[in-house]
Structure formats: structure tokens, C-alpha cells
Amino acid sequence: MKYLKNMLATGDLRPGTEINLSMLSTTLGISRTPIREALIQLVKDGLVDIVSRRKFVIKKLTLENLKHLYFMIGLLESEAAVLSCGQITQEDIAKLEDLYCGMEKALKGNEFLAYLDMNSASHDIIIQYCQNAILLDMLKNIRERLSIILYDFHKIIENTPELEVMLMADHLRMIQAIKAYDKEVLGKIIKNEHWDFDRNYPYLLEYYEICNIKNSESSPTGI
């Protein structure tokens, strides 16, 4: 399953593409059974559709899917951050500030993948003291699903400076709320602003349109 997720994350398998079980079996040197089991798990994860008993297709990107994912991440992450706030150490706050500076530097240097890595690390620090393992596990799974669906979202960051400014402002305000031990403000920033679908909609719509163009040009046969 890890191999398949990596192919999804890198765009080697694109939405709407049929998965060739025989070719994949030959490539990996394993039988079709474990591959089918992995695909069934990806169906449960919402990344693959079963068109027929023997046909698996990479799930197509829809704005409705993105809306639901953004809602769930905002809901879970804000709750985790509220539970974590007050437990975050001064050392962790310093790490958040260092990451913020690193994100600024990465954006100025057009290092957008590095920016996204540091962005993700910042979110991890903010929620790490949540002490609700089930909540964190659910959040991790949904975030992974979003990152796979938006596998080249860095290109939107690259081409939309106003989105960069908006997200960086969010992170700065999160740090300020953590410093002030203001759980309510921190939760609202994360849920009602940072992960608000309507606020992010213009940029997600642009991404969605780009994906549709790519998918129409991609091969329908898969691997």
C-alpha cells in the first residue's frame, strides 16, 4: 500500500486512471492478492474507486471532496490545538518561530516544497500535546489523504503570492495566540480561517481546474 500511496503522492497515478493489476504485480514481484487487498484499503481511505469487481480506478478530485476534507481537518486540528495549548513549552514556541522564519526564507527563495515541509512541521508542534491518541490518528490519516489528493499543491503556492501572504499571516497569529495561552483564539484561527473552505476556495478552484486539464491529457491505462 505504501508503494501505491507514493505513486499517488508523486502524481504517477492520476485521478481517473485505471490500475493495471497484472503490470503492478510484475513490477513488484508479488501476487495480485496483496495488491488487491491494498487497493481495497485505499478504497476505504477514499483514494480509489471500485468500478467493477476487477477494476480499480484512482478516485477523481472533486471540490466537494476537498470541502469535506478541509472541514474535518479544521474541526479536528482546532480541537487538538485547544487541548495542546498551554502545554506547549517555550522551547517549542521558539521552534515555531524558527520554522516561521524558515518558511519566509523558503518562499523568498522559491523553495516551495521546503516551505510545505516546514508548514506541516509547525502544525505538528501545535497539536503534539493533545493527549488524545484517537483524535491525532484520525487527523493524521485525513491530512495524509489531503496531501495525496493535492500532490502538487506547491505549484499553487508558487503561482499565488496572495495565498502565501494569507497562510503566513495565519501562522504568525497562531504563534501569538499560543504565546498568550489563548485557546479560544487559536481554535478559531485554525478552524474558521486557516482551514475554512470558502476562504481557500479561489485557490482550490484554480488547482481543481489545473488538475482537470492534466487528467484530460493523461493516459487512461494506468500501471
E-only strand ranges, 35-183: 48-52, 55-58
Distance, CA of 179 to CA of 34 (rounded, Å): 48
Torsion of CA 120, 154, 198, 194, to 10 degrees: 20
Does pTM top 0.85 for this prediction? no
The CA radius of gyration of the chain, in Å to the nearest whole number, is 19
Establish how many alpha carbons lie within 13 A of residue 145's alpha carbon, considering only the half-sphere containing its beta carbon. Answer: 25
- Residue-range domains of the chain with CATH: 2-60 (1.10.10.10), 63-212 (1.20.120.530)
At residue 176, the pLDDT reads 98
| pLDDT per residue as tens digits for the range 157-182 | 887 788 889 999 999 999 999 999 99
Residues in the chain: 223
C-alpha cell at 142: 485525513
Model pLDDT, residue 42: 81
pLDDT of residue 169: 97
pLDDT of residue 131: 94
* CA 204/CA 197 separation, integer angstroms: 9
Helices then strands, counting H and E runs in the chain, come out as 11, 2
- The Cα 82–Cα 203 span in angstroms is 27
Cβ atoms 191, 218 nearer than 8 A:
no
pLDDT at 194: 97
Strand pairing class (48-52; 55-58): antiparallel
Q: Which pLDDT does position 197 carry in this prediction?
A: 93
Q: What is the pLDDT of residue 215?
A: 45
Residue 22: is its pLDDT beyond 90?
no
pLDDT digits (tens, 9 = 90+) for 202-220: 887 776 665 554 444 443 3
Can you give the pLDDT at residue 222?
43
> What are the tens digits of pLDDT across the range 111-150?
998 999 999 999 999 999 999 999 999 999 899 888 877 7
pLDDT tens column, 75-121:
999 999 999 999 999 999 999 999 999 999 999 999 998 999 999 99
Distances (CA, A) of 88 to 47, 92, 175, 218: 34, 6, 11, 46
pLDDT digit string, tens, across residues 29-58: 888 888 888 888 888 777 788 887 678 888
Residues facing 55 on adjacent strands: 52
Residue 213's pLDDT is what? 42
% of the chain at pLDDT higher than 70:
87
Q: Quick one: pLDDT at residue 209?
A: 64
Going 126 to 111 to 159 to 156, the CA torsion angle's sign is: negative
